[in-house]
Amino acid sequence: MVAEMKYNSHLLWRMLFLISAACLMTNSIEVGSADCKNADLSDLTHQVERFSQCFLEMLPHRNRTEVNALVWSLQQVLDRLREVQGKACKAFMPENCSAPEAPQNGGLVCVSIDSVHYCKPMCNQGYDFAFLRRSRVYEKCGASTGYSWTTQLVGGNRLADCLSSPVAVSGVKSAYFPSHMSCQQTIANATAEREQIEIFHKELAEAEPDVSQKLEKAFDCVLCGN
């Protein structure tokens, strides 16, 4: 009984920590905002990792309503974090083009050069493109496309779909995230993110020789679908 109580306050403390993360990111919760501003994000990330371990051990002993309430509150925190994450690429967002939409179960590696925007759709492992795009590494939007995205899909700014598939054959090899590195994992690791951007720079330089000199000044961003 005592052990269980201790665990409970442990959990509560971690929950508060997680919520303060959302508060830190969105600045929209008034209560305790001074503490929020000083929170250490890398420490928080570590806490959240341990927190999820804690879940696995304690949840089997809890009732369904309690578990569902917890899932719901974490879902809300995650939704807010994703909003903030989406805004991080805002500087990339094309002026006269609509913002591109990242495929679910994958993402977009985007590069902007001289008001032309290039995005390369990528799928996570276990997913493949809905349409064959082996000779079509990226999509583009700028003056030459009439400020609309080139896309195989009807409906504007959705550039590709990633569908569950045991084989990945519709795209070029570089259009799939490595098995141990989904899109979300990639953007959480600066080195891995840079690797994907560099690969796309090389592909762009080959396909569009006039942009190869300007890649140094390019604005890059990787967007992940949920």
Ligand X SMILES: *[C@@H]1O[C@H](CO)[C@@H](O)[C@H](O)[C@H]1NC(C)=O
- Min CB(95)–ligand X separation in Å: 4
Q: Is 179 exposed, middle or buried (0-12, 13-18, 19+ CB in 10 A)?
A: exposed
The angle at the Cα of 16, spanning 15 to 22, to the nearest 5 degrees, equals: 95
Using the 8-state DSSP alphabet, how is residue 153 labeled? S
The angle at the Cα of 200, spanning 151 to 207, to the nearest 5 degrees, equals: 70
- Min CB(26)–ligand X separation in Å: 26
Helix axes 41-58, 2-26, angle to 10 degrees: 140
Nearer to ligand X, 84 or 143 (CB): 143
Nearer to ligand X, 115 or 226 (CB): 115
Q: What is d(CA 154, CA 147) in angstroms, rounded to the nearest whole number?
A: 16
Q: What is d(CA 139, CA 148) in angstroms, rounded to the nearest whole number?
A: 10
- Min CB(62)–ligand X separation in Å: 8
Nearer to ligand X, 80 or 117 (CB): 117
Nearer to ligand X, 38 or 191 (CB): 191
| Three-state secondary structure call for residue 32 | coil
Count of Cβ atoms closer than 10 Å to residue 38 Cβ: 9
Nearer to ligand X, 163 or 188 (CB): 188
- Min CB(145)–ligand X separation in Å: 11
- Min CB(97)–ligand X separation in Å: 9
Positions in the binding site for ligand X (CB under 6 A): 63, 65-66, 95-96, 115, 143, 189, 191-192, 195
